[in-house]
Structure 1
Amino acid sequence: MSTSPASSWDVPRLPRADGRVVLVTGGNAGIGYFVAEQLSAAGASVVLGSRDPVKAEAALGSIRGRVPGARVRAVRLDLADLSSLQSAVESLNVACLDAVVLNAGVALDDPLRRETGDGHELMFGTNHLGHFALTRRLMPLLSAAPAARLVTMGSFAAKSERLDPDDLQSRTDYRPKRTYGRSKLAQMYFGLELDRRLRAAGSTVASVVVHPGGALDSLTPSRPPVHVRTTGALLRAAPAALLVQGKHAGARPAVRAVLDPAVHGGQLWGPRVFGLRGAPRHEPVWSHLADTSPAARLWDASCDLTGLDFDLATTPG
């Protein structure tokens, strides 16, 4: 049962977030853009993490055009390049972070397996390992806030997947859709395992996992030049709106996880209707995500693959 039902959350009238600083990875497009826009409208100071400065500037212009007085800026962030993450964190130039939304992701249809410059499978290396390493480096800034939240954007595609601990990098079984789903499942395991370790360490930081349900470009309102929806695309997608939604709506579980005081660490939030569309709600953690053994093994493997010590008992801050 949800401890904070969807009906108690007014989507169009968000609580104010003035004075709070939030980093949104992949905030220049898709769901991340709308997370940034909605948090900016609530008064938060939002930093877009983006690997493409041109797209970041377009997103900043769109948000400023829609949100008068928006406090929004961008930093260059390439999750596929682990060696660049420390300088990205330093470029934030803030004393603390009140929230981070781990949203950026790579989804490939290419049947050919690709790798990051560090030699990791591209989707697993970017979506999971990049965020794992970034979070390790952000912990001092999160711990410096009174009650920071780390929000991990999962995916409904992860619900039907299972991790293969012997093939995390999809070296023997690479299928783009499966590998993407597993990379998002790894992120979700990480978000839940992180909260368990934060609680054990007595940290004030909370880690929450969310997913956007079914979020389609064709049901997403235009935000030129970030996103342009044609009338034809909207008409063709109209029947799908009975089951899924646009990316503006897919952003809402993450926004609620940042702003709602009723949200707690270790929870899973997603859309109300069949987990695919509707107002954000607290839902039961999926049965395979509730298994702590794969999460603990993934944590250890992630430390080995990134070369990082992520022991919250010794992490600065």
Structure 2
Amino acid sequence: MSSHHSPDPAQDRWDVHRLPPAEGRTFLVTGGNAGIGYFVAEQLAGTGATVVLGSRDSAKAEAAMASIRSRVPGARVRRVPLDLADLSSLKASVDALGPHGLDAVVHNAGVLLDEPQRRETGDGHELMFATNHLGHFALTWWLAPLLTAAPASRVVTIGSFTAKSVDLDDLQSTHGYQPKRAYARSKLAQMLFGFELDRRLRAAGSSTLSVVVHPGGALDSLTPSRPPFHVRTAGARLRALPLGVLLQGKEAAAWSAVRAVLDPSVRGGQLWGPRVLGMRGLPAPEPVRGILADTELAARVWAASRDLTGVDPSSRFG
């Protein structure tokens, strides 16, 4: 990722520690109970918005909400059950959000498996591709009426710079399965989805924007403690200090997604990431190039995703 950005006057006005107020707005963060998603939720809660954690695990979600409330007095935070690996469950999750508009969804939840055996969901899809990409693809379809009901709503997709290539003939890694490669494929599919979604939203005349972000290099050892689910020891912090020159913790890794949700200067179809070599620092727009700019590939991944899920998210916006 490039560290060269044209001067942006809005960049100088944006303060990651003094976010604009967002009372009356509602944001859904998938996987908001841990990791980067937790810090996205915590920071958005500080704006006065209602933040909904989409989480499979009710106990982890309760712990995350308690942590947010302890740091953000009066935080409006709640949970909906969300299992992205089970496509048939998504309607019930969206119904639990209620009938009112949704101002933004942050597609953050993801799994990274390291065991050598390939695993499938009940729908017969490879587990990482299903959770990280297909679940969010289908969830967007279910959320479309709520997003359309809110003015200038946003779909923010958190990608990864591990995303380098995708095999259209083997999206689900049925041949020569390698966990890291399967994960990278799922994240690239997710990012291509985010860019293709924005093209389709523009073509439909929708007021909803789709923005893609990536967190840079996010380490637990550089992440401030949030007990009980993340406790950083003094030793881990000291050992990680040299890495802080190049990398950052998950609190800072959340900044790009938070800005993509809140900043009125953000445009659909943009890519945002940390401004220092794409690895750390304040959020900044980055050029969309290489495989991420391949519109034909994105359209083909979209068509394959539509065939696998049975839904087409862009058909419900307009």
- TM interval, short-chain normalised: over 0.9
- 1:1-317 map, 5 Å: 1-2=5-6, 3=8, 6-158=11-163, 161-312=164-315, 315=316
Q: Which AA in structure 2 matches 1:293? A: E
Q: Which AA in structure 2 matches 1:40? A: A
C-alpha contact (below 8 Å) 2:30/2:108 kept by paired residues:
yes
C-alpha contact (below 8 Å) 1:18/1:42 kept by paired residues:
yes
C-alpha contact (below 8 Å) 1:4/1:262 kept by paired residues:
no
C-alpha contact (below 8 Å) 1:6/1:272 kept by paired residues:
no
C-alpha contact (below 8 Å) 2:33/2:60 kept by paired residues:
yes
In structure 2, do the counterparts of structure 1 residues 196 and 61 end up closer, same or farther at CA, with 3 Å as the change threshold? same
Partner Cα separation in structure 2 for residue 108 and residue 298 of structure 1: 22
Q: Which AA in structure 2 matches 1:59? A: A
Partner Cα separation in structure 1 for residue 78 and residue 147 of structure 2: 19
Note the C-alpha offset of 1:5.
5.5
Q: Percent identity?
A: 70
Structure 2 residue runs of 5 or longer lacking an equivalent are none
Q: Which AA in structure 2 matches 1:48? A: L
C-alpha contact (below 8 Å) 1:46/1:71 kept by paired residues:
yes
C-alpha contact (below 8 Å) 1:4/1:263 kept by paired residues:
no
Note the C-alpha offset of 1:177.
1.1
Aligned residues: 313
Partner Cα separation in structure 2 for residue 19 and residue 76 of structure 1: 22
Structure 1 residue runs of 5 or longer lacking an equivalent are none
For each residue in 1:259-295, what CA deviation from the matched residue of structure 2 results, as whole angstroms up to 9, or x when unmatched?
A: 1001010000000100000000011013210010110
C-alpha contact (below 8 Å) 2:153/2:208 kept by paired residues:
yes
Partner Cα separation in structure 2 for residue 247 and residue 117 of structure 1: 31
Secondary structure of 1:223's aligned partner: coil
For each residue in 1:69-107, what CA deviation from the matched residue of structure 2 results, as whole angstroms up to 9, or x when unmatched?
A: 000000100000000000000001141100000000000
Partner Cα separation in structure 2 for residue 127 and residue 250 of structure 1: 18
* TM-score of the aligned structures, taking structure 1 as reference length: 0.96
Secondary structure of 1:197's aligned partner: helix
* TM-score of the aligned structures, taking structure 2 as reference length: 0.96
C-alpha contact (below 8 Å) 1:111/1:175 kept by paired residues:
yes
In structure 2, do the counterparts of structure 1 residues 116 and 245 end up closer, same or farther at CA, with 3 Å as the change threshold? same
Partner Cα separation in structure 1 for residue 174 and residue 159 of structure 2: 23
Secondary structure of 2:117's aligned partner: coil
Partner Cα separation in structure 2 for residue 64 and residue 43 of structure 1: 12
